[in-house]
Structure 1
Amino acid sequence: MKLLTKTTLYFIMIMLPVFAGGAFYLFHKFNREIKHETDEELANDQLQWLRYLDTASVDNPIFSFRTQEFQLIPTDQPVQKKFKLKGVTLYQETEDAQAPFRELSQVISIHGKHYQMILRKSLIEKDDLAKNIIYVMLLAFGGLLMFVILSNWFISRNVWRPFYRSLDKIRQLQLNKMETRRFPSTPTHEFNQLNEALNQMTDRIHQDYINMKELTEDAAHEMQTPLAIAQSKLELLLQDENLSENQLKNIGQTSEELQRLSRLNHNLLLLAKIENQQYPVTEQPDLHQVLVQYLSLFEELIREKELTVETDLAPTAPWPLHPALADILISNLLGNAIKYNYPEGLIHIRLTAKTFTISNTSNLPEIPAGNVFQRFRKSNLGYSNSNGLGLAIVKKIGDSYHIRISYQYLNGLHIFTASC
C-alpha cells in the first residue's frame, strides 16, 4: 500500500469517530436545550394560569377543564410545593398517531379546593426542527470531512512529489551512468537531506565501480602476460628430446592447468564486464545466423563424437543482445551440449523469434537446481575440465538483458531454454 493512501486511511479512521462523536454530542445537546426551553414555556404558562385562577371570582365555581394541552381536575391529593416535569406520548386524532409531549403537573389549591393542574406542550414541531437541523449538520459535517480528506490528499501528494521523483531516479540508476544522475534540491528540508545523502552515496558507488573496473581490467591484463609466457616456455620444454616420459607428463599437466587458469581469468573478466554493463545493445544480432555459424565451427567435434543434431530454426530471430554476448550465449550452450554428450548422442535445437532451446543426451546426472547457474559448483558432479563459469556467464547475460534462462532434466535430456 502506498504511503499516501495509508496516511489518508489512517486520517479517515481517526476523523470518522471524531466527527461521529461530535455529531452525537451536538444532537443530544440540542435535544436537551429544546426540552429545557419547553419546560420554561410550561412553567411560564403555569404561572399565568395560577395568576388567572387566583384572581377568579369566588362566585364562579371551578369544576374542571379537560383539553390535550391543559387540564384542571379536582383531586383529593395534598398540595404539591413543586411541579413535576416529564415526557409523555398522546394520541393525535388528526395525525392518527402517537405524538410526543412535554408535561408539567402539580396539585394546587384554588379557594381552598385542591386541583390537579396539567399543562402540555407538543414536541412534534420541535422534533421536526431538530431532525432538519441534524440533517443539515450531517451534510455539513460530511462535506467538511470530504473537503478535509481531499485537501489532505492533494497537499500530501504535492508534498511527497519530490520523494517520488527521487525514487524514480533511483530505479533508473545504472553503474556506468551514475555520475550523470543528480538529485536536485527541493523546498522541503527533509527531502533535501535525503537527496544530499543520495548524491553522496551515488558518488561513492560510482567511484568504487570505477576503481573496481580498473582493478579488474588491469589485473586480468597483467595476469595474461605471465600466463602466456609460462605457457610458451612449457611448450618449448615439451620439444626437448632429453626429457623423460614422467617429466613430459608433468609438463603436460602443468600446461593444461595454465590453460585452464587462462580461461578462468578470461571468464572472470568477462563476468565483470557484463556485471558492469560494458556491452550496450546497439543492434539486434540475428540468433539464426549466430547459431548456424557455431554449428559450422563445431562441425568437426560433432562428427568426431558421431552426434545427431536435429534443428528447428526460425528464418530470422533478432534478439536484444550485444553481438559479442550473443556469440558467447550460443557458443557456451552449444559447446556444453557437445562436450558433455556421449558418443552417438543426440542434440536437439529449436529457435523462434522469442525462445532458444537446446537439449542434449548425457551420461551425467541432473544438475541440482541450486547449483546449475552457480560459479565453481559443477566440477564435483563429473564435469571435468570445467571451471564452472560457462553457465554462470549465460545466466549473467540473461539477467543483464532481461532474458529468462531456465534448466530442466526430462527423459534423460538436459534442456536449457532462453526466452526474451
Structure 2
Amino acid sequence: MKSLLQKSLTRFTICTAIIFILTTPLFYLLTKYYYAEDLREVIEAAKLGTPIPHTDFERDMFEGILLQFGIIMGVLLVSLSVMLKVISKQIWAPFDDTLKRIEHFSLEQESLPLFLRSNIKEFNRLNSVLTKLIEKNLRSYKMQKEFTENASHELQTPLAIFQTKLDLLLQQPDLSEQQADIVQSLYEVSGRLARLNKDLLLLAKIDNRQYTQMEILDVVQLTENMLPLLNGFTQGTSINEDIQVKSLTVEANKTLLESLINNLVVNAVRHNIANGEIFITIKPDKLIIANTSAEGMLNKDLVFERFNRSSEKIKGNGLGLAIVKAICNFHGWNIEYQYNENRHEFIVSFIN
C-alpha cells in the first residue's frame, strides 16, 4: 500500500516516460534535419568536388537546443495536464466516494456508512477515523435519545401521581382556606412542571429528528379545523382570519405543524391586551399570526431563544417560540418577527 504522494509521483513518472517515448521520433527528425543538415551539405560538396558551402554550426546548435528545451517543456506540461485531469481523478476517486457517503449520512438512519477500501493508506486512515467518529456519535445519539425518552416518562409518572394527590387534598371537607391556597399553589406549580417536561421532551425529539412521518398537508384546512379549539382558550380575545388562498399545501409532520400554529396563537394570547385581537393571515407561501399589544418591540436576537420571557408577568415557561423556531428549522422553513403598528407579527415562510 502506497502513500498518496508516492502514488501521484509514480503515476506522473510513468505518464511522462510514455509521452517521451511517443515523442522520440520528433527528436530523431529534429537531429536529422536540423543538427545534421549542414554536415550533410559539407559531405555532399566534398563528394562532388564543389566548394564547401558556408555553414553556421553555432547558430544551428543554439536554435536546436531551444527547440529541444521547448519540446521537453511541452512534454512535461502535457504530462502534468494528463495527470491532473485523468490520473488525479482516478487517484482521488476513493476520497470523492467518502465525501458522497458522508453527505448522505444521517444520524436518524442509525447505520454506519460503508466506505470503499483503497490502496492509498491516507484514504484508508481517513475512512477508519471517520468510522470511529461516526460510531461514537451514533452511540451518543442513541444514549441521548433513550435518556430523553426515559427521563420524560419517569418524570411524568410522579408528576401525575402528585397532581392526583393534590386533587384529593382539595376535595377534603375539613381543609382550611389557608391550606386550600397552599394546595392550589402546589397544584399550579406541578402543572407548570408537567408542561415544562412536555415542552422539553418535544424540543429534544425535534432536535433528534425523531418525527419522521411526513405527509402533504393543507395549512388552510388545518388552521380552520383548529379554530374551534383555539377560540376556546383565547380568553375574550377575538381571532380575525384573512385567508387569501383556497389552499396552501406543504410537506410536514402533522403533529409538529399543529404545534407550530397552537404555540403561535397561545403566544399571541399571552402578549395581548384586554379584549384585544389576533390576526391569522394565510398567503400563497406564508402564514402570519399577529396580535395587538401594549408592549414595545421585542428583541429580535432573543425572541426565539429558550426560556426567554419579555416580562415576568407573562405566563408560560419561555419555550413556546423556541419550539416554533425548532419546528421551522426541522422542515427547512423560515420564520421572522416584525413589529408594525403596535402589533407583534410572526411570519412563517414555507418556501425552503
TM-score interval w.r.t. the shorter chain? Answer: 0.7 to 0.9
Whether 2:225 is the aligned partner of 1:293: answer yes
Which has more strand, going by share of residues? 1
Counterpart of 1:230, as a letter, is F
Distance 2:292 2:78 in 1: 68
Q: 2: distance between equivalents of 1:300 and 1:219?
A: 32
Quick one: structure 1 residues 317 and 165, their matched pair in 2 at CA, closer, same or farther if it must change by over 3 Å? same
Classify the secondary structure of the residue corresponding to 2:288: strand
In structure 2, the CA distance between the partners of 1:383 and 1:167, relative to structure 1 (3 Å rule), is farther
Shift of 1:413: 1.4
**Separation (CA, whole Å) in 1 of partners of 2:296 and 2:325:** 20
The higher radius of gyration belongs to 1
Instruction: Map residues 296-335 of structure 1 onto 2, 5 A cutoff.
Output: 296-302=228-234, 304-335=235-266
Amino acid at match of 2:295: L
For 2:205, the equivalent position in structure 1 comes to 273
Counterpart residue number, 1:164: 96
Are residues 183 and 381 of structure 1, via their aligned partners in 2, closer, same or farther at CA, if it must alter by over 3 Å? farther
Q: 1:242 to 1:340 in 2, by over 3 A?
A: same
Amino acid at match of 1:142: G
- The 5 A counterparts of 1:16-415 are 130=62, 134=66, 137-138=69-70, 140-302=72-234, 304-378=235-309, 381-382=311-312, 384-415=314-345
Report what 1:416 is aligned to.
Answer: 346
Q: Contact conserved, 2:270 with 2:315, CA < 8 A, in 1?
A: no
Residue 25 of structure 2 is matched in structure 1 by none
Listed one character per residue, the Cα deviations across residues 350-403 of structure 1 (whole Å, up to 9, x for unaligned) are: 22342211121112332212211111121x534622111111111111112111
Preserved contact between residue 304 and residue 325 of structure 2 (Cα < 8 Å): yes
Partner of 2:17: none
- CA displacement at 1:214 relative to structure 2: 1.2
Deviations 1:204-243 (A, max 9, x none): 2112211211111111111111101111111121122322
Distance 1:413 1:247, change over 3 A: same
Q: Compute the RMSD of aligned alpha carbons.
A: 2.7
Partners of 1:400 and 1:170 lie apart in 2 by: 20
1:419 is aligned with what amino acid?
Answer: S
| TM-score normalized by the length of structure 1 | 0.65
Describe the shift of the 1:137–1:178 C-alpha distance in structure 2 as closer, same or farther (beyond 3 A): same
Change in Cα spacing, 1:220 to 1:306, as seen in structure 2 (3 Å) is: closer
1:348 counterpart SS class: strand
Larger relative helix fraction: 2
**Structure 1, unpaired ranges of 5+:** 1-6, 8-33, 35-120
Determine what percentage of the aligned residue pairs are the same residue. Answer: 34
